[in-house]
Amino acid sequence: MIRMDRADSGWRIQVEQAAETDRLAAALAPLCGPGTVIALDGDLGAGKTRFSQAFASELGIQETVNSPTFTIIKEYEESRLPFYHMDVYRISEAEAAELGLEDYFYGEGVTLVEWAERIASELPAERLHLRISRGEQEEAREIAVEAIGERYAALGERWMRSLQAASADCQTGQGNGKAPSRILALDTSTALLSTAILVDGEVVAERHSAAERNHSIRLVPAIEELLAEAGMTAADLDGIAVGSGPGSYTGVRIAVTVAKTLAWSLQLPLVSVSTLAALALGGKQNYARGQGAPVWVAPILDARRENVYTGLYALWDGAANMQNMSGDRNRQLQQWLDELIGAAIAGELDGTVVERPAEILVVGETGRFTAQLQAAEERARQGGISFGWQESQIDAAYIGAIGLVREWDAEEVHDVVPNYTQLAEAEAKLLAKRT
């Protein structure tokens, strides 16, 4: 069993079997991009090399990986990213300074350094530092994870979420309850009414229909039909995940109200999920997979007058491996596209250094914005950035998928409220008259 707890500078992971150490490494490898540095320390026999081998295998390295104790550095180029494996046990910091290690640390590959603390002064200021120690049982290990720098804090968060999603028994030490096994997911934030039931993370029933302005009379019957299709009753549910917007003012309110009513009456936990996050995840899953670097996904919903409801998510693979890089906002589309492309080229967003994406992908209600998207594609191409877009709709299954990795006891039912981002035009006018 893998157990995870928050620590002052990162996380503490405990495993009972060597195979679980392998799983830790295998979960980390796909999340790493060019220039990632992992420092690895621990006593002789603690499992540093085993961790390195599992990590390398997940990168796609076919040959046997052993610690380069005498050669210091071993380079592997045949994997999806170059892998630089270092064992610095036999050298001093002065000797390390002469090896030109910065060429590896800041290169196009991933660097893993065993016995890293022996050359502490030569390590990059920002890195992911793992310290492995033995447990009471023969194969038990404790791994202290220190994420140094914003980039590695984000990497650490993605790693922990990935492990959490892969193991129903893990705990993060933050008091979040175990994810329910039978989830009802709802979204009515657009003209599409979308519902789904997930059992142990798999969709067992789903319904999608163009409801236009009829969400209020169609949602409850749709839920009843969905439960019947799944061979369940409302009493069989363990939790509810609801899309909380932004989107249609009336639509968002209906799903949230129904979800809160059901959760309260059935005494079920309820989580709210950004509609834009679900749109981003669904669009990415139905598009192409990123290789090493993340795909930046910008979901858009038409907010009228050349504006869109939008956000920005970095996605690797799956709900557990997505990072919200920008809050949900109402933006002028052209301005937003220019900002995204500039940030991708510079590797800096809102004054923060970020990992450059493999691609920018715009998903959602893209149909009426073709001209702007084509112009953005050309600007991105000139800057060496891949750019694409895809028309897509909200799918409640992705509301449920994100809900699965959320903190299920973090929200009180009555605290769940719609996220309108801005008031509906009619309501704004009404308030203006009152003031």
The CATH number covering residue 225 comes to 3.30.420.40
| Residues 319 and 402 reside in one and the same domain | no
Q: The domain containing residue 88 runs over which residues?
A: 3-166
pLDDT of 212 strictly over 90: no
pLDDT band at 176 (very low <50, low <70, confident <90, very high): very low
Looking at the whole model, is its pTM more than 0.75? no
Give the pair of three-digit tokens for residue 262.
């059901």
Same domain, yes or no: 426 and 316: no
**Claim to verify: residue 209 and residue 335 sit in the same structural domain:** no
Are residues 347 and 367 part of one domain? yes
Residue 104, domain member (yes or no): yes
The predicted pLDDT at position 154 comes to 85
Q: Are 413 and 378 within one domain?
A: no
Q: What is the dihedral of CA 259, 264, 267, 270, to 10 degrees?
A: 40
Burial 209-237 (b: 16+ CB within 10 A, else e): eebeeebeebbeebbeebbeebebeeeeb
Higher pLDDT, 61 or 130: 130
Is the domain of 19 the same as that of 144?
Answer: yes
CA angle centred on 283, ends 280 and 286, rounded to 5°: 145
Question: Range with the lowest mean pLDDT among 177-186, 228-237, 292-301, 311-320?
Answer: 311-320
If you write DSSP's letter for every residue of 319-385 in order, what string do you get? GGGEEEEEEEEEEEHHHHHHHHHHHHHHTEETTEE-PPPSEEEEEES-GGGHHHHHHHHHHHHHTT-
CA 131 to chain centre: 25
Residue 294's SS3 state is: coil
Sorted by sequence, the CB contacts under 8 Å of residue 93 that are 6+ apart come out as 118, 119, 120, 121, 122
175 belongs to a structural domain: no
